[in-house]
Structure 1
Amino acid sequence: MTARVLVVDDVPTNVKLLAARLTAEYFDVVEASNGADAIEICRRGDCDLVLLDVMMPDMDGFETCQRLKSDPRTQHLPVVMVTALDQPSDKVRGLEAGADDFLTKPVDDIQLMARVKSLARLKGLTDELRARAVTGQALAIEDIVDMTSGIEPTNGNILLIDSDAHNAKRLMESLSQDHNVTHLSEPEDAAFQLADQDFELVVVSMALEGIDPLRVCSQIRTLENTRGIPIILVADVPDKPKVVRGLELGVNDFILRPIERNELAARVRTQLRRYRYSNELRKNLSSTVAMAVIDGLTGLYNRRYFDRHMCVQLDKAKEGDRNLGLMMLDIDFFKSVNDTHGHAAGDEVLKEFAARLQRNIRGVDLACRYGGEEFVVMMPDTDLVHAKNIAERIRHAVASEPFDTGITMPLNITVSVGISINELQDDTPEQMLKRADIALYRAKREGRNRIVYDAA
């Protein structure tokens, strides 16, 4: 996904250099030469991520970052501090000010892009959660602005995966001072360990014996109950290329050996703070909007919520010149399920369908029950190729295994899918829904259990 990056530096040459690197990777760049202007740009919502120089006159980067992170309007913005300072104490000070990362000049291109892409993905998910919370607030008349002000990143439940007893002992000594740490020396057991306990952070050594550490990270990201848990890699300098690959896979952060204890502590606190922040948003969604906007049978959002949120997201997509995908799904021959097996069996099919739908979309996607046996999925930052991939994953998940209703024999269920993408500058939610609906009924006419796209 792309993003709008704010580059803050009082030296124009430094700004132009970073801007050129980012533009080459298709990021939009906004520029500021001082902390005050940067704060104003962030408050207006004109950026997704901040690259912030430390050494600036009047207000340095540390103070700028601290002000951004203490303001509810900007505290969710990822901040990467960029500076010539290379002392561990400077890095720790930046992280303590709330920075999400810290890059040292001259900035390595690979590390810069890996960090920016990783934080941009995280920002996208956080934005979607915040937008849903705001939509819920409008419908349920609840105030959520200050709900995260009391988050403290202490006493975290951390899983350390390291097959080297000596290295693990040193990490345990550092982390156990402020957190509850469980050491796992057999990496292949990670899935079982994570299933048994509620961990908030996973620290993975790149020096695992007999297994690729990135495979372990990938498995953590694949499991439904752990895909949102932050992961920190502990690596040596030669591991940098694999670390970059790990960040692309969804790893949140890394630290290089030899490990500076205070830097490790600060990075752990940063990840815990962000994880708990997201959890608070999720809990808020559950508590404030359930009665007004949740479908009681399937647990998905209802049509009322979708209609409101679709308007918001389409406006955002237009402003940022971004893609927005829409999928309409209809369970094939659902009327015959009710007529033959009864409405109780039909309800069980709907609930199981909703569960499979949720398991096969991304965290940033929004699934809703639109009415009866018809569902919609809104997919931010999604072009046609990716929309088709998501739709095919859902179609296969539905058709590949019979639905066990507990009332009758397992039923073979299929689904037809229609897709539309925002292609016109004046597109409206109604127009996108109409195109997706037309595509859906083409899928029905052409034999069902298939995916059809309708162009504008």
Structure 2
Amino acid sequence: MSGRILIIDTVATNRIVLKVKMLAAQFSVDACSSRIEAEAIISTNRPDLILINLSDPVEDRHEFCRTLKNDPQTSGIAVIAVGVADTSKARFAALDVGADDVLPRPMNDTLLLARIRSLLRVRSASQELLLRDSTSRALGFEEANALFETAAHVALLSPEDMQDGNLLTMLGKGLGQPVRTLSTAGVLKATAVTPVPDLFVIDASSDTSQHALFRLVSDLRSRSETRQSTQLIVVPHGKPDMAAMFLDLGADDIVTSGTSQGELSLRAKALIRRKLLHDRLRDTVRNGLHAAVTDPLTGLYNRRYVESHLTRLAEQSRGSGRELAVMMLDIDYFKSVNDTYGHAAGDKVLVQLADRLRENLRAIDLVARVGGEEFLVAMPRTSAVQARNAANRLRRLVNCRPFDLGDGGPKLRVTASVGVAVSGQNGMHQTELTRMCDLADAALYAAKSAGRDQVALSKSAA
């Protein structure tokens, strides 16, 4: 598990206990007692998530939380309010100022870690979409239309014989719009759900059918048509392990049965806003960039996109203090493929290789075709050891199975060489970006000189 956590709590014992738990879960951790200290840490070592005790008798922590969420520079930091009284009023107040979740003490460790994992997954996806959106605008494309509050498609999923009319009424009143009702069994059997809901509210308040509901959450997250829909799960009170399982299976948020209408509607509206924002950003990437910044043969990004996006990755690396890996991958003896089998066969190899690379990298990674048979891969937050392992995995993707030339032609086996350069721990300045690509190119040359089908790591960039 990776990520940077900031703990803000006046009580030293609380800070120490939480810090030990976060370190045990392999997070990087900072801890402080006051707003002034927190602001200094955030400005120099920005966290991915904040655990904040809002019940401070001296400082107005609610106002601090609201300020964080209203500032574009810090609004993307996930916030979990801890040490809050376990009352509807206290939870609503924390959510209303921007907290992503509220976990009163004593906290269940399993649920806390599951919630952190869930929020960090969402933050990573949001950062990637926003980064690509900023790249498109830097390239001169029109900024996407502003996000307006619009009626969303919301569906309440319940076991067929356990539909909760009170929950349906609360949702409808809180959101100010009709809510569809669907049976969980029917959704599992259906090959498609139309129109696709922006938000699924899944009633798991009766744990008698929890295994079927676990399957439902996972199934909705895996289907292409419902993968981007958000999920809010209603779980029985006093079942933290069940709530944690739903989060780890892909649910976006959890409430317990008996939650007030105000809290339920706040959480539902937040998920809908996030879904609509992500949809808008995806449309920007799809429609604004596709023709101008993609390679028409492979569908990968081209050199024009790489030059702008790599600059942003380098800035992000410098700001976070985390390493950035750049790889150059080149098909060995590719000219002989074109000479022997023709350029159409060579194109088929390039297309299939692009598919293999695209399907085996993270959403945050960049993969592009930057030359005839040369591909670039950029991997943020990747150490030298991780980069070498990833490069060997990509190299094996090339030689693990032959390429299909079609039209009754032979299955062709090819290999690839990979050169890797990794920025220093403090990131890399924009002026050094060209040098980093040159180092990756030099490492690629070294891999080919060593006999090809090799990975070489540039020592100068480590």
TM-score using structure 1 length: 0.78
> Corresponding residue for 1:29?
30
Instruction: Report the CA distance shift for 1:296/1:6 in structure 2 as closer, same or farther (over 3 A).
Output: same
Across the aligned residues of Structure 1 and Structure 2, the Cα RMSD in angstroms comes to: 4.2
Larger displacement relative to structure 2 (47-56 or 209-218): 209-218
**Corresponding position of 1:193:** 192
Alignment of 1:300 with 2:300, yes or no, is yes
Distance 1:387 1:126 in 2: 27
Superposition deviation, residue 83 in structure 1: 3.2
Matched to 1:283, the amino acid is D
> Residue in 1 aligned with 2:124?
124
- 1:101-250 equivalences under 5 Å are 101-140=101-140, 150-152=147-149, 155-167=151-163, 169-177=165-173, 178=175, 180-186=179-185, 189=188, 192-194=191-193, 197-206=195-204, 207=207, 209=209, 211-224=211-224, 226-237=226-237, 239-250=239-250
Tell me the equivalent position of 1:380: 380
**Distance change in 2, residues 1:419/1:208 (3 Å):** farther
Q: 1:199 to 1:110 in 2, by over 3 A?
A: same
SS class of match (2:162): helix
Distance 2:88 2:34 in 1: 26
**CA–CA distance in structure 2, aligned partners of residues 19 and 354 of structure 1:** 43
Residue-pair matches, total:
447
Change (3 A) 1:404 1:86: farther
What displacement does 1:101 show? 0.8
How far did 1:326 drift?
Answer: 3.8
Answer whether contact 2:388 2:457 (CA < 8 A) is retained.
no
Q: For 2:86, what is the secondary structure of its paired residue?
A: coil
**CA displacement at 1:119 relative to structure 2:** 1.6
Could you say if the C-alpha distance between residues 425 and 52 of structure 1 is closer, same or farther in structure 2, counting changes exceeding 3 Å?
A: closer
In 2, distance between residues paired with 1:334 and 1:164?
59
For 2:457, the equivalent position in structure 1 comes to 454
Q: Residues 74 and 316 (structure 1 numbering): CA distance in 2 closer, same or farther, change over 3 Å? A: closer
Alignment deviations for residues 251-286 of structure 1 (CA, whole Å, 9 cap, x no partner) = 322222344433222222222222222233333334
Residues 443, 354 of structure 1: alpha-carbon distance in 2 compared, 3 angstrom cutoff: same
Provide the C-alpha distance between the structure 1 equivalents of 2:183 and 2:331, rounded to a whole number of angstroms: 44
Against the structure 1 CA distance between its residues 188 and 352, is the aligned structure 2 distance closer, same or farther, given a 3 Å change threshold? farther
Could you tell me how far 1:446 is from its partner in structure 2?
5.8
Worse overlay, 173-182 or 79-88: 173-182
Give SS of 1:79's match: strand
Letter in 1 for 2:192: Q
CA–CA distance in 2 between the matches of 1:41 and 1:328? 36
Q: State the secondary structure of the residue aligned to 1:278.
A: helix
Q: Give the conservation status (yes or no) of the 8 Å contact 1:416–1:440.
A: no
Note the residue ranges of structure 2 that are not aligned, 5 or more in a row: none
Letter in 2 for 1:181: R
Structure of larger gyration radius = 2
Residue 104 (structure 1) shift: 0.9
- State the distance in 2 between where 1:293 and 1:285 align: 10
Change in 2 beyond 3 A, CA 1:431/1:37: closer
Q: Distance in 1 between matches of 2:355 and 2:43?
A: 38
**Residues 3 and 213 from structure 1, CA distance in 2 versus in 1: closer, same or farther, beyond 3 angstroms?**
same
SS in 2 for 1:371: coil
CA shift for structure 1 position 187: 6.7
Task: Report how far residue 193 of structure 1 moved.
Answer: 2.6
Match of 2:369 in 1: 369
Percentage identity across aligned positions? 29
Q: Distance in 1 between matches of 2:394 and 2:202?
A: 30
Whichever residue aligns with residue 264 of structure 2, its letter is L
Q: TM-score, normalised by structure 2?
A: 0.77
Conserved in 2, the CA contact under 8 Å of 1:399 and 1:414? Answer: no
Deviations 1:423-453 (A, max 9, x none): 75487654466447745874897675xx746
Counterpart CA distance in 2 for 1:390 and 1:242 is: 38
Q: 8 Å contact 1:191–1:219 — kept in the other structure?
A: no
Deviation at 1:297?
Answer: 3.8
Instruction: Show CA shifts across 1:365-404 (max 9, x none).
Output: 2221222232222222345458746974895599668658
Q: CA deviation at 1:164?
A: 4.7
More deviation in 439-448 or 271-280?
439-448
